[in-house]
Amino acid sequence: MDRYVLDACALIALLQNEEGADRVAAVINAANEGAADVTMNKINLLEVYYNVYRSQGEAQAEVMYAAFQKRPVHINSETSDAIFKEAGRLKATYKVSLADSIALAQALALDAELLTADHHEFDVVEQNEKIKFLWIR
């Protein structure tokens, strides 16, 4: 079974029907069919919630959050010591955001592909780490 970790920009692309939304939708559809396992850390989901809250208000943020919880995506609200330490190492090494460091560490721990469009954050990581990426654009 294919494994994926969503970062915030992938979910935002889906919600706003941006370029790459079709790739994110395909992964979620695969999860609906039982052909993929998809995870998103709650900190990354917080970034999306905040983005919707800021741009569209609390009511829309709540609608998005409730709808997302019905999707076949595991929302991981626990951070193991291994992910905690790996995220710290990645953040210190590559100076990525806290949420991005958690997504990277989670993808590495799960041997999953990270769905993202954040080339500016992750191109250097991809060149130097054993983390797999599925670029949505």
Please tell me the distance from the alpha carbon of residue 137 to that of residue 116, in angstroms, as a whole number.
8
* Domain extents in the chain: 2-135
Q: How confident is the model at residue 80 (pLDDT cuts 50, 70, 90)?
A: very high
State the pLDDT at residue 98.
95
Q: What is the mean pLDDT of residues 3-26?
A: 97
Predicted model pTM: 0.94
CB atoms near residue 125 (< 10 Å): 19
What does the block give as tokens for 17?
């029907």
Handedness of CA 21, 88, 95, 109 (dihedral sign): negative
Residue percentage of the chain with pLDDT more than 90: 99
CATH fold group of domain 2-135? Rossmann fold (3.40.50)
What does the block give as tokens for 25?
């939708």
DSSP 8-state symbol, 100: H
Q: How confident is the model at residue 59 (pLDDT cuts 50, 70, 90)?
A: very high
